[in-house]
C-alpha cells in the first residue's frame, strides 16, 4: 500500500477512536488497530512510524484510560485476564513480538526490534491474575530482554516480569538469585543492572521478602558494580531490615564513595542516582550515620571558600527536605536534625554561591521548617547582606522568598518592609509573591504601604 494512503488511514482510525460518542462500539476494532499501530513502529517510512505512534497513544488512552497524574505508579491498569479476554489475538501477537525480539538479541546484542518497546509498555500495565497459559513463556523471554544493552529496554522488561508473574515473590527471587550467583557465566554490567531492576520491582511490592544469600551477594558485590547497578542495590538494601554486620559493610562502601566524590558538577545520570540512593539510605539510618551526613554537607575545599561534593550535597539536602516536608512526617524525625552541627552545615550551604539553585532552595526550606534562632551562627549583618544581594538579583525567586521567610521567622532586626513589598509585586515570580505575602500575614499589623500594594496586586489580576 502507498505510504501516504497508510498514513491517512491511520489518522482516520485515530480520529474514530478519539471520538467519545462512539464509545464501546469503537473498542470492538481496537485489537486489530493496536496490532497495526505496533507493527507500524518498524516501518521504513518516518511518516508511517509517526502516525503509528499517535494511533498507538490514542488506543492506549482508550483502552486503559488516562492516568490521573504524572508517574508510572498512577497509570491506569487492567487485569491480564480481563485484557486478554477482550483482546485474545493481542496476547499471541505480544508474545510473538517479545519472543522474536529476545531471539534476535541473543544473535545480535546490538539489534533491538522497534516494535518491542510499544509491546512491553502494554504488558507493564497489566495486573497479574495467573490465568494466562503463556506466563512462563513471557517470563523466559523477558529474562533475556532485561540483559539488553538499552537501558530503557531493561527497565521496562523488569516491570513486565513483575506484571506477568503470578507466583509468590520467593520463586522469581530464587530464579534471579541463580542467575546472579551463576559462577559459570560471569554477568556483564548490563545483565547485573537488568536483574537488579527486576529484583527491585518485587522488593518494592513486598519489603518482607527474605533474600537469604542474595542479600550477602548484593553487599559483597557493591564495590564491583557500576554506578547504575550500585544505585539500585543500595535502594533495595534501604528497604530491607539488615543485620548489624550487613549495615557495617554497606556503610564501609558508602564511606569510600564519599571519599571518592569531588567538586566537579558534571556527573553522569547514573552517578546522580547513586548519590540519591546513598542519601536515602543514610537518612533512613540517621541514628548511626549522622557523622557521614554531616561530612557530606560540610566538607570544604582547602583552597577556596566553597563547599565540595556538589552533587552529594544536592542529593542529601533535597532528600532531607522531602522527608521533613512530608505531611505524615513525625515530629521526632525533625528533632533528629535539630542540632547545632546540622544547622551550621545548612547555613553554610545557604551562604555558598557555588551551589545550584535547587540545593539552595532545599537548604533554605529546611531552615524554615526546623531551624531555631539560638542555633543560627551567621551574624545579622551577613544575613542582611545575603537577603539584599538575592533580592537585587532575583534570579532564584523561590530561594529569595524563603530568605524573607527565614528573616521573619527568626525576628531579625532588619527592615523587611521594602523587600516584602518588592517581593509581593505582580512582576515577581509566584513563589516569591506567595512567601512575601505569607511572611507579612503573620505580623500583627499591615503597614499602609503594603496594604495598598496588596490591593493594587488584586486589582491588576482581576482586570
378 exposed, middle or buried (CB, 10 Å; 0-12, 13-18, 19+)? Answer: middle
Distances, alpha carbon 53 to alpha carbons 47, 98, 111, 114, 309, in Å: 10, 18, 21, 11, 42
Q: Are 203 and 240 in contact (CB under 8 A)?
A: yes
pTM for the complete prediction?
0.80
The Cα–Cα gap between 307 and 299 comes to 6
SS (H, E, C) 185-245: CCCCHHHHHHHHHHHHHHHHHCCCCCCCHHHHHHHHCHHHCCHHHHHHHHHHHHHCCCCHH
Taking phi over 0 as left and psi of -120 to 50 as alpha, with beta for the rest, 428 belongs to: beta
CA angle at 255 for the pair 254 and 260, rounded to the nearest 5°: 95
State the pLDDT at residue 134: 78
State the pLDDT at residue 34: 93
The Cα–Cα gap between 228 and 189 comes to 9
Q: 111 phi and psi, to 5 degrees?
A: -100, 130
Per-residue pLDDT 10s for the chain (463 aa) are 788 898 999 999 999 888 877 777 788 888 899 999 999 999 999 999 999 999 999 999 888 877 655 555 556 788 888 888 888 899 899 999 999 999 999 888 888 899 999 999 999 988 877 666 777 888 889 999 999 999 999 999 999 998 888 766 667 777 777 777 776 667 788 888 998 999 898 888 777 777 777 888 888 888 888 899 999 999 999 988 888 888 999 999 999 888 877 555 556 788 889 999 999 999 999 888 998 898 888 865 543 434 447 888 899 999 999 998 887 777 778 888 888 899 999 999 999 888 888 999 999 999 988 888 888 888 888 988 888 888 777 677 788 888 878 887 887 777 666 666 666 655 555 555 555 555 555 444 445 554 455 555 555 544 4
Task: Name the residue with cell 509573591.
Answer: 433
State the pLDDT at residue 305: 39
State the pLDDT at residue 416: 63
Q: 78 phi and psi, to 5 degrees?
A: -130, 145
State the pLDDT at residue 303: 39
State the pLDDT at residue 213: 77
The Cα–Cα gap between 361 and 377 comes to 19
Q: Are 113 and 104 in contact (CB under 8 A)?
A: yes
Per domain, the residue ranges of the chain are: 261-362, 379-463
State the pLDDT at residue 111: 83
Amino acid at each position: 500500500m502507498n505510504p501516504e494512503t497508510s498514513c491517512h488511514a491511520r489518522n482516520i482510525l485515530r480520529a474514530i477512536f478519539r471520538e467519545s460518542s462512539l464509545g464501546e462500539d469503537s473498542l470492538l476494532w481496537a485489537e486489530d488497530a493496536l496490532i497495526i499501530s505496533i507493527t507500524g513502529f518498524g516501518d521504513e517510512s518516518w511518516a508511517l512510524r509517526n502516525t503509528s505512534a499517535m494511533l498507538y497513544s490514542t488506543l492506549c488512552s482508550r483502552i486503559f484510560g488516562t492516568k490521573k497524574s504524572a508517574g508510572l505508579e498512577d497509570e491506569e491498569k487492567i487485569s491480564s485476564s480481563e485484557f486478554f479476554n477482550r483482546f485474545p489475538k493481542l496476547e499471541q501477537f505480544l508474545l510473538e513480538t517479545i519472543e522474536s525480539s529476545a531471539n534476535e538479541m541473543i544473535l545480535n546484542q546490538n539489534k533491538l526490534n522497534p516494535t518491542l518497546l510499544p509491546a512491553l509498555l502494554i504488558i507493564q500495565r497489566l495486573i497479574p491474575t495467573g490465568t494466562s497459559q503463556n506466563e512462563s513463556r513471557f517470563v523466559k523471554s523477558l529474562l533475556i530482554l532485561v540483559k539488553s544493552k538499552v537501558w530503557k529496554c531493561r527497565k521496562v522488561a523488569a516491570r513486565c516480569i513483575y506484571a506477568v508473574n503470578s507466583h509468590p515473590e520467593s520463586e522469581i527471587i530464587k530464579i534471579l538469585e541463580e542467575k546472579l550467583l551463576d559462577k559459570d557465566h560471569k554477568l556483564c554490567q548490563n545483565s547485573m543492572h537488568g536483574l537488579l531492576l527486576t529484583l527491585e520491582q518485587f522488593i518494592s511490592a513486598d519489603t518482607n521478602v527474605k533474600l537469604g544469600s542474595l542479600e550477602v551477594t548484593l553487599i559483597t558485590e557493591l564495590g564491583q558494580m557500576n554506578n547504575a547497578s550500585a544505585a539500585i542495590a543500595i535502594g533495595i538494601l534501604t528497604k530491607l531490615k539488615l543485620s548489624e554486620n550487613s549495615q557495617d559493610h554497606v556503610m564501609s562502601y558508602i564511606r569510600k564513595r564519599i571519599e571518592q566524590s569531588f567538586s566537579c558538577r558534571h556527573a553522569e545520570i547514573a552517578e546522580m542516582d547513586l548519590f540519591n540512593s546513598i542519601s536515602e539510605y543514610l537518612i533512613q539510618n540517621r541514628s548511626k550515620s549522622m557523622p557521614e551526613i554531616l561530612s557530606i554537607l560540610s566538607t570544604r575545599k582547602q583552597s577556596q571558600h566553597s563547599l565540595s561534593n556538589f552533587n552529594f550535597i544536592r542529593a542529601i539536602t533535597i532528600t532531607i527536605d522531602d522527608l521533613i516536608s512530608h505531611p505524615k512526617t513525625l515530629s521526632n524525625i525533625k528533632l533528629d536534625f535539630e542540632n547545632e552541627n546540622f544547622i551550621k552545615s545548612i547555613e553554610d550551604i545557604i551562604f555558598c554561591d557555588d551551589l545550584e539553585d535547587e540545593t539552595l532552595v532545599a537548604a533554605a526550606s529546611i531552615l524554615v521548617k526546623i531551624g531555631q534562632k539560638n542555633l543560627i551562627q551567621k551574624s545579622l549583618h551577613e544575613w542582611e547582606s545575603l537577603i539584599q544581594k538575592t533580592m537585587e538579583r532575583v534570579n532564584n525567586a523561590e530561594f529569595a522568598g524563603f530568605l524573607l521567610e527565614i528573616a521573619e521567622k527568626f525576628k531579625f532586626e532588619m527592615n523587611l518592609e521594602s523587600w516584602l513589598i518588592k517581593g509581593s509585586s505582580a512582576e515577581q515570580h509566584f513563589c516569591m509573591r506567595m512567601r512575601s505575602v505569607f511572611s507579612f500575614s503573620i505580623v500583627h499589623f499591615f503597614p499602609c504601604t503594603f496594604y495598598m500594594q496588596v490591593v493594587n496586586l488584586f486589582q491588576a489580576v482581576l482586570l
